[in-house]
Amino acid sequence: MRKEAEKDVILHVEGISKHFGGLQIIKHVSLTVKKGERIGIIGPNGAGKTTFFNLLTGDLLPTGGKIYYKGKEITRMPNFRRAQAGIVRTFQKNNLLNELTVLDNLLLVLQRKRGMANIWFKPRNARRWLALFEEAEHLLQTWGLADIANERVKTLSYGEQRQVEILLGIAMEPDVLLLDEPTAGMSQAETNYIAELLRQLPKDITMMVIEHDLDVVFGLAERMIVLYNGSIFIDGAPEEVRSDERVNEIYIGKEKAAGASYL
């Protein structure tokens, strides 16, 4: 296919669908994502946003259609292989090892990334694994989490835990980073911090964000996709989506939209 073979195209989705029995969640969705794009995905509850992410990451397999990554079909590739290849995600709920420290969570990710998983059950210290610890320290310093490096995850606030999970995703050095409601449940200060962190990501990382906080997603995205009833309703620039009366109708209903804007 020509589209997925283009050099600047990193992800190409061709007519993917997902059924659960007789319930169709995703309906023939197609899109092309270029390297380095910042894409926001919005839509009302039940629109299929998280299911769509699950299909991209391999957590679910599509009922129909194809997915291409860097020109190669990955439709049936398992999720861990996709993560190794560079498609990394965060979840709505934290997916951390709560009994371990922030540093240990990060070290486990770095070990896996560096092909050093066999040292998990061996004594690990900074003297024996200097490069590993230096990389972890650099990441913690860069993303402002050095002060909590030795804190157990379970003792952290929810917002801090979300920050750690995003850091683990960044540590995987993704080509495509999928963020599922990264600021959900956060205070305004924590939300502002996460939004600024995401704005500082390297420009060559492709980022797709599902987010209910419209101020956050419109502040991050250069392209917006509105999902509705499992299909792409609008795919366009943020200003185009914000000014579209139909999007307000989707969120708050036609009668209310006539008198007030949701976006």
- Per domain, the residue ranges of the chain are 2-93+174-257
Architecture of domain 2-93+174-257: 3-Layer(aba) Sandwich (3.40)
pTM of the model: 0.84
* Each residue's pLDDT tens digit, 205-234: 999 999 989 999 999 999 999 999 999 999
Pairing of strands 87-90, 176-180: parallel
Q: Give yes or no for residue 131 having a pLDDT over 70.
A: yes
Residue 159 has a pLDDT of 82
